[in-house]
Amino acid sequence: MPSMYDVYRGHRGEYDRLVHAEDHERHLPEFLRSIVDWRGKTVLEGGLGTGRVTELFIDSARRVFGCDREAHMLEAARGRLARCADKLELRVADNFALPVLAEKADVFIEGWSWGHAVVDGPGPIEPIADALFTQVRKNLVPGGFVVLIETLGTNALSPAAPHPRLAEFYQILQSRYGLRQAAISTDYRFASPAEATEVLGFFFGKAMEEAVRANGTAIVPEWTGVWCGPLPA
């Protein structure tokens, strides 16, 4: 089982197999439309990856600045979002070192990238959260909107933080930063039970592989959390 950083560095194809199967009922885009009117907005996205989240709002947005630490992921995103090339700017940058944009954004969004920094980061979680928000604050208009998308469990019957550091981080997002949380069902649907076992086993390890194989289904439960709201001053 590779780390997520190994995946981002060298397993772009496997990553796409995973994310293309997720949220087969399209609950996440519906929710994003319900919390933000994307029309005419300037958006900054951190940890953009191959553009899986970007694709959900870029048609409506006026301008999108996207950052990721891996150039090859941005190459895939550039191809995926080619229809909107005139309003898309991509830069290689880590979530802890975002560039200062010439034009401040109305909305900041990230999907499944801050959580890795929290789980893998050393020491207390609150300073990690503060450092991430500092990068957002320098690029967001006053009162700008924040949308954070993170996991609430894979192959789980109900939503819950799958790691104790994530549980603490999610609580900080609500108590310290005033963001509200929503839990969304974003189940995977693969072509077959065998593909579900292979792909999820590759990403999440032997225990997940055995659990998915035992279920014997091509649809695997997935829970996604969204934390959103105006960024406090």
**What DSSP letter does each residue of 102-132 carry, written as one string?**
SS-EEEEEEESSHHHHHHHS-S-HHHHHHHH
For residue 107, pLDDT over 80 is answered with yes
For residue 7, pLDDT over 70 is answered with no
For residue 2, pLDDT over 70 is answered with no
Instruction: Encode pLDDT of 199-232 as tens digits.
Output: 999 989 999 999 999 999 999 999 999 999 999 8
Q: Collapsing DSSP states into helix, strand and coil, what is residue 187?
A: coil
The pLDDT of residue 223 is: 98
pTM higher than 0.85 = yes
What amino acid occupies position 135?
Q
Stretch 158-186: mean pLDDT: 98
Q: What percent of the chain has pLDDT above 90? A: 88
Annotated domain spans of the chain: 4-230
DSSP 146: E
CB of 170 closer than 8 Å to CB of 162: no
The pLDDT of residue 86 is: 97
Distance, C-alpha 38 to centroid of its chain: 17
Instruction: Note the maximum CA span of the chain.
Output: 52
For residue 6, pLDDT over 70 is answered with no
Query: Domain 4-230 falls in which CATH fold?
Result: Rossmann fold (3.40.50)
Q: What percent of the chain has pLDDT above 70? A: 94
The pLDDT of residue 14 is: 77
Phi-psi region for residue 40, left (φ > 0), alpha (ψ -120 to 50) or beta? left
pLDDT band at 117 (very low <50, low <70, confident <90, very high): very high
Stretch 159-167: mean pLDDT: 98
The pLDDT of residue 17 is: 85
DSSP 59: T
What amino acid occupies position 31?
F
Instruction: Encode pLDDT of 173-205 as tens digits.
Output: 999 999 999 999 999 999 999 999 999 999 899
The pLDDT of residue 10 is: 55
The pLDDT of residue 220 is: 97
Question: H/E element holding 35?
Answer: helix 27-35
For residue 125, pLDDT over 90 is answered with yes
- Location of structure tokens 């981002």: 8
pLDDT band at 170 (very low <50, low <70, confident <90, very high): very high
Q: What is the mean pLDDT of the chain?
A: 94
pLDDT band at 15 (very low <50, low <70, confident <90, very high): confident
